[in-house]
Amino acid sequence: MRVATWNINSLKARLERVLAWLASADADVVCLQELKCATADVPVEAFKTAGYDVAAWGTGRWNGVAILSRVGLADVREGIAGQPDFDGQAEPRALTATCGGVRVQTLYIPNGRDTADAHFPYKLAFLQALAADAASDAAADLPFAAMGDYNICPTDDDIWDVDEWTGTTHITPAEREALDAVKAAGLADVFPRALKYDRPFTFWDYRNLDFPKNRGMRIDLALANPAFTAAVTDAFVDRNERKGKGASDHAPLVIDLDL
């Protein structure tokens, strides 16, 4: 089985690229983030024509998540237990489903914006809720992975120049401690192979020629339970999908499993 996670940065803007990637990547299950469209506006028929069932949750704003599967889609759950609100609303940032004997969760962790912004404690509270919520799936016999855009670089090696980001979000001790608490629930980081690059980044800003210069960050992660990690045969970042006109600023993280 091949599973993947990808922040597409607007489904409307990226639909044709997503469909083309599905046709070439041979992925069985794909977790998407940052749909930027409402649930009712997700092009379900286009995905069905491509061979995928769809579960999606979005409000039409800058968040939104979805799971695409061609191996079944069952036990779909929106959100996580204890998920905090922001501005009085539960944002569509987590969606979980069972696909072909594997339990997957697509996650779009809050960005945090700035350490002085109200979004930052919201981010930490979301991660705290995720750590508690993930414990039961982590302990289950069923392979489980919480995949998506975590908006955190796990280590200094996961960012092109940590000095450039000193004092900002994504690398603070508080965020990394919160991420470690999620792992402590029983999940391990499925680290992708670097291929020809020393550090397999998953995000590059559109500005300052960051992608050609490989000034990136590894913030798209797959945290998995022992049953999932034991089945992993390969994991890599599909950098080619970051190239060209109209690309997302994230590249897909692809994981192969032998079940």
Q: What is the mean pLDDT of the chain?
A: 96
Q: Taking a C-beta distance cutoff of 8 angstroms, is the pair 61, 35 a contact?
A: no
Residue pLDDT, tens place only, 81-107: 999 999 989 999 999 999 999 999 999
Residue pLDDT, tens place only, 96-138: 999 999 999 999 999 999 999 999 999 999 999 999 999 999 9
pLDDT of residue 196: 67
For residue 228, give both structure tokens. 């999932």
pTM: 0.97
pLDDT of residue 166: 81
| Tally of domains in the chain | 1
Burial of 216 (0-12, 13-18, 19+ CB in 10 A): buried
Q: What single-letter amino acid sits at 33?
A: Q
Residue environment code for 61-76, b if the CB has 16+ CB neighbours within 10 A, otherwise e? eebbbbbbbbbebeee
pLDDT of residue 236: 95
Which structural domain, as residue segments, surrounds residue 93?
2-257
CA-based max dimension of the chain? 47
Residue 194 has pLDDT above 70, yes or no: no
For residue 190, give both structure tokens. 């499925």
pLDDT of residue 167: 82
Average pLDDT over residues 217-234: 97
Tell me how far CA of residue 81 lies from CA of 26, 70, 71, 246, in angstroms: 33, 27, 26, 36
pLDDT of residue 195: 66
Helices (H), 58-202: 119-139, 173-184
For residue 137, give both structure tokens. 């799936």
Q: Taking a C-beta distance cutoff of 8 angstroms, is the pair 182, 130 a contact?
A: yes
For residue 231, give the CATH number of its domain: 3.60.10.10
N residues, the chain: 259
Closest CA to 66 of 112, 32, 98, 90: 32
